[in-house]
Amino acid sequence: MKRNLIFLIFLISQTGFCQELLLTGVYKGEGLYIQNPYNADSGKFCVQSIYVNGKKTKTNLSLTAVRLAFREVDLYTPVSVKVVYGDSCKPKIVNPEAVLYHSNFKFDSLVLNDSIMHWYTKGDRRDGKFKIEKLKGDYWDVVKVMRSKGRFDGAQYVFFPEHTDGGNKYRIKYELPEGRYLYSTEMEHYHYPESVTFSPKLVIDKMIFSREARYEILKDGDIILQGKAKEIPLKRLAPGDYSIIIEGEEDTFVKK
């Protein structure tokens, strides 16, 4: 049977000053080696920074052969590598197979909202199973186990999560009897069952929400203040009419 490679590698031009090399796959316990050319004229190495799963690493970039060790990545979990480099050079990933995962199975798409989680797969085996895990504090708790439908050409799965107020983070583990497994990417959803109210409408020094919420304050269509809080100090805000967007809902207020 022909086996598929679950990976994606491509080049994106960002600006005239730097470009990005992206590689995604699964961490299998091996380091990733990157050729890092040195420019004698400029006295600089090609690679400017390396990110793993969106977090900038502390990898030593003053070498022509850089080794990325994935120190904070769990074995057999999804990994995304972004190499930022100058526009006059090009690094090379020497051993991309270190994170390429050979498997007939893949998570095709995942959706999570206020009431439902559903995902599509390809390459299901009948003896496989899915474990839905929810992050609780510092550990992942299994909240549901589902049997695989065993449809190689594609299958859809549905789960109705019980969110807690605030941030909720989930991942799905596809597991086979022989011990092999693969994690989906992590999914996060902020759940607030009640809409947010604020007071006062005529602000003197501060605004108070009915609960902590994400907000944006706008003046003439421009965002001048944003964040997440329950109480916002606005004493230094210039007098006038303002718009406020609280978790997608827009309203107005006046600063005295």
The full set of domain ranges for the chain reads 5-101, 105-191, 198-255
Q: What CATH code is assigned to 5-101?
A: 2.60.40
Residue 105 has pLDDT above 60, yes or no: yes
| Mean model confidence pLDDT for the chain | 85
Q: Over 60: is that where the pLDDT of 216 sits? A: yes
Instruction: Give the tens place of pLDDT for each residue, 200-210.
Output: 889 999 999 98
Is the separation of the CB atoms in 100 and 25 below 8 Å?
yes
CB contact at 8 A, 106 and 53: no
Contact 113, 168 (CB under 8 A): no
Query: CA 14, CA 24: separation in Å to the nearest integer?
Result: 19
Domain 105-191 matching CATH 2.40.160.40: the answer reads: no
pTM for this entry: 0.44
Least confident of 6-15, 68-77, 80-89, 163-172: 6-15
Task: Find the mean pLDDT for residues 94-109.
Answer: 77
